[in-house]
Amino acid sequence: MRNLPACARRICAGFVSATALLILAGCVSAPYTGRTQLMFYDENTDITAGAEAWQQVKAQEKVSTNATSNAALQRVGRNIAAAANKPSYDWEFVVFESSEANAFALPGGKVAVYSSLFQLFDNDAELATVVGHEVAHALARHSMERSSQSVLQACGGVLVELALGQDWTPAYQTTSNLLAMLPYSRTQELEADYLGLLLMARAGYDPRAALTFWEKFSKLNQVGVVGEFLSTHPDGEKRLEQLREALAEAQTEYRKSKQLGTGQSYR
Ligand SMILES: [Zn+2]
């Protein structure tokens, strides 16, 4: 700690108190799982921010013209959205042309699946695994949680600068990313897997398809221990282990659903 004059110490103390109040005011229970979540935004902000970002994405990305993929995503998306039971969200599901095997969700219920991911799907239930995962990110408000954490990280950065000087800022950024931001991203990924599994089952898709899909995906996307530590995505085996543990609960949901099995086959 630098030898600070009394007025600077008072500024630091005030800043620490304000940050602590900010954390207290921002702690809420995450929807569905009840995990403690930092959230500085209300849900209307999710909807407005998501809709604006979605317009920008649609203007930049190429929408797929593949009739089979589009029909499959609309069919599965409709079923998952019904299972999500979130009338305040204006759900939209779009296939974008891309060689990247990826998918994403924006706040407020906008979901994109990239065209190359369809090469991995054998049936609707495997597509429902990814759609369920993305819908879960939107429902659990993960983007806005990350934005809230970034606000807090920036406050911490100011405090470090006030107390220790600018030279410590890069070390603070790296440490806070490794110790706080990345583990939270992985927590969100595992939460989206779990909620997504329940959603696909509630929508009528056999939840065992989630295991077949993520097994295929993890073979493509293998990361070692170091890779996982530095990655926003959980290790494939950790993901599968959690899904196996949640399978009995998902099968209970599935038995109460309209039981579509694996839905339409793509092969
Ligand atoms: Zn995810």
Q: Which residue type occupies 6?
A: A
264 in a structural domain: no
User: For residue 177, how far is its CA from the centre of ligand 1 (angstroms)?
Assistant: 18
245 in a structural domain: yes
User: For residue 112, how far is its CA from the centre of ligand 1 (angstroms)?
Assistant: 12
Cβ-in-10-Å burial (0-12, 13-18, 19+) of 30 comes to: buried
Whether residue 39 contacts residue 28, with contact meaning beta carbons closer than 8 Å, is answered with yes
Catalytic hit among 43, 52, 97, 134: 134
User: For residue 161, how far is its CA from the centre of ligand 1 (angstroms)?
Assistant: 33
209 in a structural domain: yes
121 in a structural domain: yes
User: For residue 188, how far is its CA from the centre of ligand 1 (angstroms)?
Assistant: 7
Beta-carbon contacts of residue 115 (< 8 Å; ≥ 6 apart)? 64, 66, 69, 95, 96, 97, 98
Nearest CA-CA partner of 217 in 206, 226, 209, 207: 209
Q: Which domain holds residue 96?
A: 21-256
266 in a structural domain: no
User: For residue 107, how far is its CA from the centre of ligand 1 (angstroms)?
Assistant: 13
Q: What would you measure as the largest C-alpha separation in the chain, in angstroms?
A: 73
For the question of residue 191 being annotated catalytic, the response is: no
Cβ-in-10-Å burial (0-12, 13-18, 19+) of 134 comes to: buried
How many Å apart are CA 131 and CA 117, to the nearest integer? 12
267 in a structural domain: no
Place of tokens 């926003």: 232
Q: Which two tokens stand for residue 140?
A: 């659990």
13 in a structural domain: no
Each residue's pLDDT expressed in tens, for the chain with a length of 267 residues: 556 666 666 666 665 666 665 666 668 888 788 888 888 888 898 899 999 999 999 999 999 999 999 999 999 999 999 999 999 999 999 999 999 888 999 999 999 999 999 999 999 999 999 999 999 999 999 988 888 877 766 767 677 677 777 887 777 677 766 666 666 788 899 999 999 999 999 999 999 999 999 998 888 766 554 455 556 667 788 899 999 999 999 999 999 999 999 999 998
User: Number of structural domains, the chain?
Assistant: 1
User: For residue 45, how far is its CA from the centre of ligand 1 (angstroms)?
Assistant: 21
10 in a structural domain: no
